[in-house]
């Protein structure tokens, strides 16, 4: 076993212990968390897990649900291996008997987990990070939701951003999975419609040590800007580093999977000082401030990629369990739609006691979250917002909300 894998595995175990221990006093309501603790998003997963932990700690501190306190049980999908994602979900659904699941994170992992365990087991799943358009058409019996917008939307926003910056000719390198293919397709379509040229759009396989052949093919297209739609701890990092080393691209662009400070440490802040990136973000709403305040008090970075979306997913599932009135899986999905939809008494992040009292009084509630209103459409999707990211002082920072 390599040192890198040992460290990643130890991190996964530590994260799992951290989540479990935070609710060790909990009673009988298990919530699953499917994360990529190892693999190409291993550095992005811990802050997402902390978003779940924060929601659960607030809820238990305020009395828990009427059916008992919450306990988080974690499982590692590796992000990149569909079989391991299915096995991880199977353990949560059939061995741990979780009531609901936050996750998975990578789109392919979510689809595999849902098809092989979540849907057959009648378990409601809310992904905070799966952005592939493929989820929209999933035959999920209304059990799979997400709190991050689809890349069908993010691709269009990125296209408009690039055109606004005078970028007219791009090459796209995307990881060959549901996330990469969906994002690349959406970006290509929107960029061409806006008058830009996609010189080439090429898939690459994750997990290789050398992508120089792929980089050479991208360079031969003549594009001056390279868009990398992959993962910060996986192929995206290597493709980007080797493309920078070649010196043949003037500018680099990344999607949400590339927004991780570990990428900057690996590639170098100076090399990435002009990099453009996008990710799902948060509009200027009251819930954003509530979450940020609580996150900072807990020692968390409130702007960490998908952390706030994970908080919202966990808090809404808890509200659904409370409305459902038991630890039963059946009915959680319908209750989820109810607590997330207007009209109703507005519930902000952290306002568990207020929500619990309103539900006990037979009132409707409407959760207005850390990252949006989360008015789910028929497919379980939300509109959301996309923000521009840039590298400053060795970190990714938010530039502003995009339209």
List Cβ neighbours of 249 (8 Å cut-off, separation of 6 or more): 171, 219, 223, 224, 225, 226, 243
74 belongs to a structural domain? yes
* In the predicted structure, residue 11 carries a pLDDT above the cut 50: no
Residue 7 has pLDDT above 50, yes or no: no
115 secondary structure, DSSP code: I
Residue 303 has pLDDT above 60, yes or no: yes
CA-only gyration radius of the chain, Å: 20
User: Is a pLDDT exceeding 60 seen at residue 175?
Assistant: yes
Same domain for 157 and 142, yes or no, is no
In 3-state terms, what secondary structure has residue 238? helix
Judge whether residue 205 has pLDDT over 70.
yes
Average pLDDT (50-74) is 97
Q: What is the pLDDT of residue 28?
A: 81
**Among candidate residues 245, 214, 209, 247, the one with its CA nearest the CA of residue 228:** 214
pLDDT given for residue 384 in this prediction: 85
pLDDT(395) > 70? yes
- pLDDT score of 60: 97
The pLDDT of residue 23 is 35
208-258 pLDDT tens trace: 999 999 999 999 999 999 999 999 999 999 999 999 999 999 999 999 999
Average pLDDT, the chain: 93
Contact 32, 97 (CB under 8 A): no
Contact 278, 387 (CB under 8 A): yes
pLDDT tens-digit profile of 319-355?
999 999 999 999 999 999 999 999 999 999 999 999 9
Indicate the pLDDT class of residue 283, thresholds 50, 70 and 90: confident
Q: Residues 133, 233: one domain?
A: no
Band of residue 12 on the pLDDT scale cut at 50, 70, 90 = very low
**Residue 250: what are its φ and ψ, rounded to 5°?**
-85, -30
Tokens read off for 69? 């306190």
Q: How does DSSP classify residue 284?
A: S
Give the DSSP H/E element, type plus range, for residue 83. helix 82-90
Single residue among 242, 274, 306 that ends a domain in this structure: 274
d(C-alpha 40, C-alpha 43), whole Å: 8
What proportion of the chain, given as a percentage, has pLDDT over 90?
A: 92
Query: Does the structure show a pLDDT above 90 at 282?
Result: no
pLDDT of residue 18: 40
Range(s) of the domain holding residue 63: 3-148+284-367
Please indicate, yes or no, if residue 391 is contained in any of the structural domains.
no
Helix (H, G, I), strand (E, B) or coil at 149: coil
Burial letters for 47-67: b for 16+ Cβ neighbours within 10 Å, e otherwise? bbbbbbbbbbbbbbeeebbbb
Identify the pLDDT of residue 133: 96
Whole-number Å distance between alpha carbons of 281 and 270: 25
Q: Clarify whether residues 56 and 12 are in a common domain.
A: yes
If asked whether residues 8 and 103 sit together in one domain, one would say yes
Give the separation between CA 135 and CA 113, rounded to whole angstroms: 12
Give me the CATH number covering residue 228: 3.40.50.2300
Q: How many domains does the chain have?
A: 2
Query: Is the domain of 54 the same as that of 134?
Result: yes
Section 146-165 average pLDDT: 97
Same domain for 348 and 294: yes
Residues 6+ apart with CB under 8 A from 223: 169, 170, 171, 197, 199, 200, 249
Phi, psi of 400 (to 5 degrees): 165, 165
Indicate if the pLDDT at residue 24 is higher than 60.
no
At 27 the pLDDT is: 54
**Same domain (yes/no): 289, 331:** yes
pTM of the complete model = 0.90
Question: pLDDT tens, 98-132?
Answer: 999 999 999 999 999 999 999 999 999 999 999 99
- Pick from 1, 56, 49: nearest CA to 26: 56
pLDDT at 87 over 50: yes
Determine the pLDDT at residue 67: 92
């Amino acid at each position: 076993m390599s040192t890198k894998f040992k460290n990643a595995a130890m991190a996964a175990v530590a994260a799992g212990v951290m989540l479990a221990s935070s609710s060790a006093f909990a009673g009988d309501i298990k919530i699953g968390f499917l994360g990529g603790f190892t693999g190409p998003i291993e550095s992005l997963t811990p802050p997402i897990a902390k978003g779940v932990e924060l929601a659960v700690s607030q809820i238990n501190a305020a009395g828990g649900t009427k059916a008992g306190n919450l306990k988080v049980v974690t499982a590692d999908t590796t992000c990149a291996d569909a079989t391991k994602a299915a096995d991880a979900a199977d353990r949560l659904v059939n061995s741990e008997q979780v009531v609901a699941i936050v996750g998975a994170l990578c789109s392919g992992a979510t689809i595999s987990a849902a098809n092989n365990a979540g849907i057959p087991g009648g378990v409601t799943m809310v992904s905070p990070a799966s952005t592939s358009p493929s989820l929209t058409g999933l035959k999920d019996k209304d059990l799979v939701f997400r709190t991050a917008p689809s890349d069908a939307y993010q691709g269009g926003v990125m296209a408009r951003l690039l055109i606004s910056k005078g970028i007219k000719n791009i090459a796209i390198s995307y990881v060959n999975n549901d996330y990469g293919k969906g994002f690349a397709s959406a970006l290509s379509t929107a960029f061409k419609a806006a008058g830009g040229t996609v010189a080439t759009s090429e898939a690459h396989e994750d997990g290789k040590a050398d992508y120089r052949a792929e980089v050479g093919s991208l360079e031969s297209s003549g594009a001056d800007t390279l868009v990398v739609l992959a993962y910060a701890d996986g192929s995206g990092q290597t493709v980007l580093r080797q493309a920078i080393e070649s010196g043949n691209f003037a500018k680099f662009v990344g999607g949400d999977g590339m927004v991780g400070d570990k990428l900057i440490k690996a590639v170098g802040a100076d090399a990435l000082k002009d990099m453009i990136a996008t990710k799902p973000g948060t509009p200027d709403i009251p819930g954003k401030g509530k979450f940020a305040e609580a996150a900072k008090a807990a020692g968390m970075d409130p702007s960490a990629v998908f952390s706030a979306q994970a908080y919202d997913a966990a808090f809404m599932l808890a509200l659904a369990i409370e409305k459902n009135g038991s630890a039963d899986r059946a009915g959680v999905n319908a209750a989820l739609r109810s607590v997330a939809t207007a009209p109703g008494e507005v519930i902000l992040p952290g306002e568990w006691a207020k929500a619990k009292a309103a539900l006990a009084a037979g009132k409707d509630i409407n959760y207005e979250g850390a990252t949006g209103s989360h008015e789910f459409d028929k497919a379980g999707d939300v509109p959301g917002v996309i923000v521009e990211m840039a590298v400053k002082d060795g970190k990714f920072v938010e530039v502003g909300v995009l339209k």
